[in-house]
Amino acid sequence: MNLVAIAINHHTAPINLREALHLSSDEISEYIGKVKDSLFSEGLVVSTCNRTEIYGIPAKKDITFKDIQDSLIEFKAGFGIQPEHFENLQAAEAVRHLFSVICGIDSLIIGDNQIYSQVKDSFILADNNHFTGTIMKRVYDLALKTGKRAISETAINEGAVTISFAAVQLIEKIFSSLNKKSALVIGTGETGEIAAKHLSERGIGKLTLTNRTFEKAELLADKLNAVAIPFPEFKNELHKFDIVLSATSAPEIILTKDELAAAMKKRNYASMVVMDIAIPRDIDAGSREIDYVFYHDIDNLNVIVDQNLKKRKDEISKVQAIIEEELKSLLDWYNSLEAGPTIKILRDLFESVRAEEVKSNINRFSDSDREKLDIVTKKIINKLLHHPTVELKKILLENDRDETVQKISLIRDLFGLNDSHKKE
C-alpha cells in the first residue's frame, strides 16, 4: 500500500513550531487545492492543538517525504522547521499511526476524548474537497471503527480526558482552593466550553466568559450560572481575574505582554494564573516574565500528562491490540483486490445466478431440452464474462498497485462482490 504520511506533533516539535504549521479548516481546504493531483491522488489532513499530519497516496512515484514537508512549510511560511521535526511514515506504519491518533493513545493527554471527533471532521473536510478515493475511504471506515472499539471495549478515555481538563487540574495545583477565586475564559468553542464547565464543577468563586460571538458566551453563561462580557471589553476587565484561561481559534495573539502587565499593575501584582491552551497561542509567551504571573501553555502540562499516563497505561495495550486487528483487516482487504480472485468471485456470482434461474425454470422444459438449457446458459455466461475477464487482467499489467486496487475495488462494488464474498 503506497500510503505515506508526515507528522509534526508533540513528540517531534515544541509548541512554537507546531503552531507555525497549524492549519485552520479554511487553510486545510486551500492546502488540499494546492497538493491534490500534484502531490497526492487522494489524502487526508489532520490539524489539531498538538499535531499537523498529512496522509495520502502519492500522485507520482518519485514524490518524496521532503517534497511533502516542503509543501507544508512553504504553504505556512514555517521558517526554522527542520526535517527532524517530522515523523515520516509509510504503508502499514502510516495507518497504524492514524489509528493510534483517533483512539487517543498518541495524544498528549492519553485517551483524549476530543480527538475522535477532530479526526472524523478532518475526513469529512477531505471528502468535501474531493480528496478521498477508494483507499482513503476504506482507511476512514476502519479508523472510525477502531476509534469506536477503543471507546466501547476499553477504559482508555474513561472520565473527562481533554486538554481543558488537564489545564483546570494544573490550575488546582497552583491554587489549593478555587471557591474564592475569579476566572475568565476567553473563547467558548468546544475547548473553552469544556474548560468553563470544569471550572464550574470545581466550585470556582466567580466565572466570566467572553467570545467574539457574544450570544454564544451568553448562552453558555446561562447554563453555568456565569457572567458573559463582550469580547472588546475583556481587556479592560482583565485586572479583576485571578485566573485567565484562553482557548480561541484566533490566528494571532489576542493578549500582549504589555496589556497583561498593565492589568497586573491595576491588581497591585496580586498573583494571576494565565493558561493558554489555544493553538496558535492566544497570549504572548513573554508574559511569563511578568512578576506574579504564572503563565502556562499546552507544553507545561507534563505533571498532569504523567499522572494520566500512569492511570491509563494498562488500557494502552488493549487499544493497541484492537488497532492491530483492524490494521490486519485493512491489509487483508487491500491484498484481496487482485485480478485473479476478483475474476473467480465474479464468475462464481454469475454462475450462482445462472444455476438459480435454471433451477427455478427447469420444469418449463422437456427432459431432452434440459441438458441443452444448461449448456446454452453456460455459454451465455462465458461470453458475457469474456471481455471483463480480459480487461481485469489488463488492469494488473498496465497500472501500478494502487491504481489496480482502485479499479478492481470499483468493479467489486458495482457487482456487490465484497458482500457476496462475505456471505461465503
The pLDDT assigned to 424 comes to 40
The pLDDT assigned to 118 comes to 94
- Using CB atoms within 10 Å of the CB of residue 386, give its burial: 0 to 12 exposed, 13 to 18 middle, 19+ buried: exposed
**Does residue 267 have a pLDDT over 80?**
yes
pLDDT band at 420 (very low <50, low <70, confident <90, very high): very low
- Using CB atoms within 10 Å of the CB of residue 74, give its burial: 0 to 12 exposed, 13 to 18 middle, 19+ buried: exposed
Q: Rounded mean pLDDT of 349-377?
A: 89
Helices (H), 175-287: 190-201, 214-224, 234-237, 257-266
Query: Could you report the per-residue pLDDT of 309-324, keeping only the tens digit for each?
Result: 888 888 999 999 999 9
Query: What are residue 420's phi and psi, to 5 degrees?
Result: -70, -30
pLDDT band at 400 (very low <50, low <70, confident <90, very high): low
- Rounded to 10 deg, the angle between the 134-153 and 92-103 helix axes is 40
Least confident of 160-169, 235-244, 388-397, 408-417: 388-397
**Does residue 225 have a pLDDT over 90?**
yes
The pLDDT assigned to 392 comes to 72
The pLDDT assigned to 30 comes to 97
pTM of the model: 0.77
The pLDDT assigned to 108 comes to 87
Q: Rounded mean pLDDT of 116-143?
A: 94
Query: So which residues are the catalytic ones?
Result: 49
Per-position b or e across 279-304, b if 16+ CB within 10 A of its CB: bbbbbbeebeebeebbbbbbebbeeb
The pLDDT assigned to 398 comes to 62
Q: Which residue has the higher pLDDT, 71 or 398?
A: 71
Q: Rounded CA gap, 259 and 201, in Å?
A: 30
Least confident of 185-194, 351-360, 393-402: 393-402
Pairing of strands 182-186, 40-48: unpaired
Closest Cα partner for 75 from 49, 105, 54, 90? Answer: 54
**Does residue 236 have a pLDDT over 60?**
yes
Query: What are residue 330's phi and psi, to 5 degrees?
Result: -65, -45
Contact 322, 146 (CB under 8 A): yes
Q: Which domains does the chain have, with CATH numbers?
A: 4-159 (3.30.460.30), 163-300 (3.40.50.720), 340-389+408-416 (no CATH)
Closest Cα partner for 90 from 4, 161, 154? Answer: 4
pLDDT band at 402 (very low <50, low <70, confident <90, very high): low
The mean pLDDT value of the chain amounts to 90
The pLDDT assigned to 348 comes to 87
Q: Which residue has the higher pLDDT, 32 or 419?
A: 32
